[in-house]
Amino acid sequence: MRIALGDATIDVESAGYGDAIVLLHGFPVTRAVWDAQAPVLAASARVVRPDLRGMGCSSVPEGPYLMETLAGDIAGVLDALQIERASIVGHSLGGYVAMAFARMYAERVRSLVLVCSRLAADAPETARAREDLADRIEREGRVDAALDAYLPRLLAAQTLERRPEIVARVRKIGLENTPRGIAGMLRGIAQRAASDDIAQELTMPVLILAGRYDAVVPPGEARAMASIFPNASVAFMEGSGHLPMLEEPGSTAAAIAGFLAAG
């Protein structure tokens, strides 16, 4: 379904019944990264999967797409679906959005799952690199530059070497995006604020789900994140890099489902 929210139209899939779970995808992909987990979770809950603005099947308005704007979109989606509270599950970029949502709408968050995400803002050189890449993508009019820059760091080395079907799947999903959308999201990510200040105030159950071989968010950073929240635990996907939803789909679904059931 498509939900009109001011300057953007958000494309959303909703399935199942019960307490709501929102699955937020990372960058530079779409909600398709949750294809394996969504039906498992929908067996006992209502699963809401949006494409963030500028990505996938959602509209591509003017950027940059600030995390607060994306969080407001999620609130609008929940309002349209008449959902008051939900568990928010965010992968990487989706985790940044989840934390912005928790800052703005803490009373609407039943629990949080941050998958291969972080609380820190970009270092200045990282932010500049994102801005430069956004400029290049707009100049060239191709998404491939973003995929070439990101894909080698998204998957564990053994996945890159031995599982070409997953590499191809990531690229295929990424190519569902447009240069304008990718550039708008890169600039929004570069401008995001740190969220460690709000983390220590959030009392709902939190799961930090990390990839053992994640080159983007190392295991030590994941453990440190868990120590900031008052009520957090950490779990590792032992054969994954930054995309456990694709590298270990069953284990990822089980970890999320088990955490939410216990909460």
Summarised one tens digit per residue, pLDDT across range 77-127 is 999 999 999 999 999 999 999 999 999 999 999 999 999 999 999 999 999
* pTM of this prediction exceeds 0.95: yes
- Whether residue 28 is predicted with pLDDT greater than 80 in this model: the reply is yes
- Give me the pLDDT at residue 262, please: 87
At 235, the pLDDT band (50, 70, 90 cuts) reads very high
The phi, psi pair for 257, rounded to 5°, reads: -60, -40
What CATH number did the domain enclosing 210 receive? 3.40.50.1820
- Give me the pLDDT at residue 252, please: 98
Greatest distance between any 2 Cα atoms in the chain: 49
- Which structural domain, as residue segments, surrounds residue 27? 2-262
- Whether residue 36 is predicted with pLDDT greater than 90 in this model: the reply is yes
β strands within 92-205, DSSP E:
109-115
Bond preceding residue 28 cis, omega within 30 of 0: yes
Contact by Cβ (8 Å): 50, 71? no
- Give me the pLDDT at residue 172, please: 96
Contact by Cβ (8 Å): 233, 226? yes
- Whether residue 263 is predicted with pLDDT greater than 80 in this model: the reply is no
CA distance 28 to 41: 23
- Whether residue 47 is predicted with pLDDT greater than 80 in this model: the reply is yes
Number of domains in the chain: 1
Q: In the predicted model, what is the mean pLDDT of the chain?
A: 97
**pLDDT tens-digit map of 53-73:** 999 999 999 999 999 999 999
Q: Are strands 2-5 and 86-91 parallel, antiparallel or unpaired?
A: unpaired
Amino acid at residue number 203? T
β strands within 146-257, DSSP E:
206-211, 232-237
Query: 186 forms bridges with which residues in the sheet?
Result: none
**pLDDT tens-digit map of 148-190:** 989 999 999 999 999 999 999 999 999 999 999 999 999 999 9
CA distance 140 to 142: 5
Query: 21 forms bridges with which residues in the sheet?
Result: 47, 87
- Give me the pLDDT at residue 182, please: 98
Residues of the chain with pLDDT > 70: what percent?
100
CA distance 91 to 246: 12
- Give me the pLDDT at residue 114, please: 98
CA distance 64 to 185: 6
Residue closest to 107 by CA, chosen among 229, 226, 231, 201: 201
